[in-house]
Structure 1
């Protein structure tokens, strides 16, 4: 029944044709021997749900007519911006980006809950910039998964009131608790306490988050079943100990648990656990105990009917899939009496059921999680979480006693964090094949279910195991079966990043990594965590493509917009060697990169005109610079890539003087190019007419950011390209541009 509702919700959003999945549900129910009336009820209920969702899901708005907003409890203050979801006077939910006027105003926002506050605003819809690439964060998908209709930018605002409601009241109490934690807990323990007690992970350091992801234990900081069960047990036992009757204790829990869910942030995993517990407690109160799987199904149905868009949230998908796997594998899990074996079985079942969806969303899964969870799940659930609850209780009773307890607990917790960071940075813990297509995800789930059936019935286990491995092996080897060469010009904003994948993934070359030019600003405008092009744009593309190693990283020159993201790439992707232009290491902007290169003991080579990159498929030759003195853009490494079917030239930031030298030295070698990556983002200081006439490229690529402050590409360059009938694409307008060179020489160009 619950699955039919989920199918109906997705079909309402995407296409009515997805209702065909109800047919598959019917076949499954027939196989399970369900009564024909129940099967008919499932189909009717699913179809009726579809009609309900069609009329209840929010439609994306084309025009912004919002004059007043009331903030929800889902918002964040970062630097000089307040961003989050608010309800407009049109009664629709919007994602709002508000620029804070002053430091004083920011302090006001930081020191009180914004939830429920109403603002009169002047706003405009945020222009939709192209998606960086198909593996990058998708704002439109994020907005849809939160039931919003669009995003707006607030230009002027005025606080006009505070709408009182139970939800805003609870949001205020959650905010007060967060403030209390920050004022009473030691700084090293605050992020953990906020995550475990109120479901807020905003303060968690990036390096620690990466370590948790690598170990596959991020879920420990999402309040879920174990947390709710522990809280429920503590409250129940406390009520019984003070003399409350069991029936009364159950009714009090029924009243208290939703309040706890709101205090804990109301994430899908929290509401899933609370709703299932509520349903079971209610059934027990009426002396008609409901089966856990039925309570689970009712929880899903209620959740999706209230918020149909929730099916697109990753937290909802992972939480319910993991719970589903444990409930329906109870026979298998209870087959072992050994704690270690049972714990390993639980971890294995959960990991197998979520691995396809993890690959689809994050492009990698943790191999070490099978062992890491055996250690950290009991440690966090039965020791660290209770300790944090106890310490929070103490901070309200006596700061002197809590201070003494913190002095004992903090050194131990810091050592544990150091240990987690150490093992989290050990190599070979992640499997990163590539992002699977939806049909592969669907097939992978069929093989997982078949494997579980074989295990449960203790029949055809070998066949089940082989079947389980088929999609895993296919996803792993697929990139190595591709005979095409791929050249990807990433949309990294105002900067350059090019990735060249040779046939069968034999070689991978990256030219520049993108980066940001950072400008001085008032300290209150500084963001909590800096936006990192390398980590947030480049690395997701590499992981989405299943690229785990780069043979050669070429840093064309020492400008931040070409190499500032390199350090982040090195931290997550193995690099064999780095090529740089001569004498560029002396520049201040290169210091952090060189430090990371030395830390990893990576080979660094200075290259000039005439040097080569070894390749089985192309002649890869540097044709610039000619000297060993670094002076700037006109000392960029220029790479020529050529075979019988293709000739490309990657110019870095080379300008007019460099182009003139190339005309003089390589006139016959660079005639009639297949592809030209224009120098210096299409600036008027490059792409001179004589150079374009000589190279006459079939396609030109301009790496320039959307609506950038420099006006790149310059109108003179655009006019020149048009006058010479030279077609071009721009990463900032067209998104990441991918050029596929097939084995027979055919060339295909695609954009998102």
Structure 2
């Protein structure tokens, strides 16, 4: 029997070599530069790392001593990292499961080897999909979560990974505060009430650095927005707004924007996505208020900087 298996293996090898030979003959006859093709294939193998490194090098000066908010282009999902001048870093969300390598490559390119905190805004796969892979590769001091549970495998896998790593978790509610380096965070959502869906249960964070303010909306929608306006209308003012739910029409209202008065808005969305994000109504509202709107589907990776007094940005595309 062993000899028979060896014979089959030999025949398979011959067939494979013949196929490769015919393919090479075809390429030679077609005039295609085989060396160039091989180079393209080789480069594509490291495309994630190369792209992440190139974008980081383009956007972030090596001698930068400013606060950095780096929005990672993960398509129609969320992942961003806030790095303070004193070397502390916070990862907010972790995209889809197939975004893991690009997120890891980006963190590496930014020189981030450890996370002071990880924030999982809510348990949807487009926000926690790569959390397991990231927590296995990069140590973190704490994971901030919403207490809204999900019955998905992605969510269960994340909980298992957190438990296995021994990282402590903290359930965030509105009014909670914490400091990461020189950055002060205040949670404006979830409220005391229980929402029926994960989006409205999103952690919404206000980050303050000096006199500059950043508002991270997660996927909060109409209900949560209404509650935040009622409870925190004076706290919502921010220089930079990470627009809720990828620019969905039900995550941005004129009343909300009037309270936030952002100079810059960031929308995380994928090219030609199935949801039509960002919705035109959202873009029109932002435009009517003169807000500079940056989009990952058009601008790719985005870097926002603050020196504590002013905010500026750079985009990869």
After the TM superposition, which residues 487-506 of structure 1 pair with which residues of structure 2 at under 5 Å, given as runs?
A: 487-505=69-87
**Alpha-carbon contact 2:122-2:199 (below 8 Å) kept:** yes
**Which of residues 552, 574, 577 in structure 1 aligns to 2:142?**
577
Q: Name the structure 1 match of 2:65.
A: 483
Q: Within the alignment, does 1:646 sit opposite 2:212 as a pair?
A: yes
Aligned match for 1:742, one of 282, 285, 307: 307
CA displacement at 1:613 relative to structure 2: 2.2
Deviation for aligned residue 1:435 = 10
2:239 is the counterpart of 1:658? no
- Alignment of structure 1 residues 20-169 onto 2, 5 Å: 113=19
| Change over 3 Å in CA distance of 1:696–1:573 after alignment to 2 | same
Structure 1 residues 722, 482: closer, same or farther in 2, change over 3 A? closer
In structure 1, the residue corresponding to 2:206 is in which secondary structure?
Answer: strand
The CA distance in 1 between the partners of 2:292 and 2:26, in whole Å, is 58
Q: 1:712 aligns with which of 265, 277, 280?
A: 277
Match of 2:115, SS state, is: strand
Secondary structure, in 3 states, of the residue corresponding to 2:218?
coil
Change (3 A) 1:706 1:308: closer
Give the direction of change, closer, same or farther, for the CA distance of 1:632–1:716 in structure 2 (3 Å limit).
same
Partner in structure 2 of residue 508 of structure 1? 89
Residue 674 of structure 1 is matched in structure 2 by 239
Q: Distance in 2 between matches of 1:657 and 1:686?
A: 9
Pair 1:314–1:628, CA change in 2 (3 A): same
The partner residue of 2:266 within 701, 721, 730 is 701
Distance 1:600 1:669, change over 3 A: same
Query: How is 1:506-655 mapped onto 2 (pairs within 5 angstroms)?
Result: 507-515=88-96, 532-534=98-100, 536-584=101-149, 587-627=152-192, 629=194, 631-655=197-221
CA distance in 1: counterparts of 2:265 and 2:27, whole angstroms: 58
CA gap 1:646/1:587 in 2 versus in 1, 3 angstroms = same
Question: 1:629-676, CA deviations, whole angstroms, 9 ceiling, x for partnerless residues?
Answer: 4631000000001233211100000001111111111111113x2001
Return the TM-score normalized by structure 2. Answer: 0.81
Could you tell me how far apart the structure 1 residues matched to 2:116 and 2:205 are? Answer: 16
Give the Cα separation in 2 of the matches to 1:700 and 1:515: 22
Moved over 6 A (4+): 308-315, 434-438
Q: Secondary structure at the match of 2:250?
A: coil
Query: Alpha-carbon deviations, 1:436-472, whole Å to 9, x = none?
Result: 979xxxxxxxxxxxxxxxxxxxxxxxxxxxxxxxxxx
Larger Rg: 1
Displacement of 1:692: 1.0
Contact 2:117/2:141 (8 A) holds in 1: yes
Aligned to 1:751: 315
Higher helix share: 1
**Counterparts of 2:280 and 2:55, CA distance in 1:** 38
**Unpaired stretches in structure 1, ≥5 consecutive residues:** 1-109, 118-162, 169-304, 316-359, 365-433, 439-477, 517-531
Figure out how many residues of one structure are paired with residues of the other and give that number. 289
**Distance in 2 between the 1:166 and 1:663 partners?**
64
- Aligned partners of 1:728, 1:566: CA distance in 2, in Å? 28
Gap change, CA 1:723 and 1:589, over 3 Å in 2: same
Match of 1:395 in 2: none
On the 8 A contact 1:435/1:545 being kept in 2, the answer is: no
3-state SS of 1:595 partner: helix
- Structure 2 matches for 1:270-669, cutoff 5 A? 307=35, 482-505=64-87, 507-515=88-96, 532-534=98-100, 536-584=101-149, 587-627=152-192, 629=194, 631-669=197-235
1:166 Cα offset (Å): 9.8
